[in-house]
Amino acid sequence: MLIYFIMSLFMFICGLLAFSFNYNHFLITLLSLEYIVLSLFWLVYMYLFISLYDLFFLMFILTFWVCEAALGLSLLVSLIRGFGNDYFFSFNLLQC
């Protein structure tokens, strides 16, 4: 069972590295954040499963993570419609 915790922590660290080093595209940033959420989901699931807790809390937290993903995708669509691409360097907040 320890291998599952190590694997989820490795996934979390890989997601953090991808989030911190790939900052050109907004889509890559969103995908790395979703990868981090997936690793946290796996970690919380394994913890709740091993300690024999009810998995209702996991469904509650999963609902918030799905809302976060939908909000990120709607922000991505809004940025692509407004600016034409998803590059961070093309976003200028001083434009009227």
pLDDT tens for each residue of 3-30: 888 999 999 999 999 888 877 888 888 8
How far out from the chain centre does Cα 7 lie? 17
Specify the pLDDT at position 13. Answer: 94
Query: Domain ranges in the chain?
Result: 2-90
51 versus 87: the higher-pLDDT residue is: 51
Closest CA to 41 of 63, 16, 17, 22: 63
pLDDT tens-digit series, residues 34-44: 999 999 999 99
* Element housing 56 (H / E): helix 56-83
What is the number of alpha carbons within 13 Å of residue 16 lying toward its C-beta?
Answer: 8
The three-class DSSP label of residue 86 is: coil
CATH architecture of the domain covering 2-90: Orthogonal Bundle (1.10)
Specify the pLDDT at position 2. Answer: 85
Specify the pLDDT at position 10. Answer: 94
CA distance 32 to 30: 5
Specify the pLDDT at position 37. Answer: 92
- CA separation, residue 78 to residues 15, 52, 64, 75 (Å): 24, 42, 21, 5
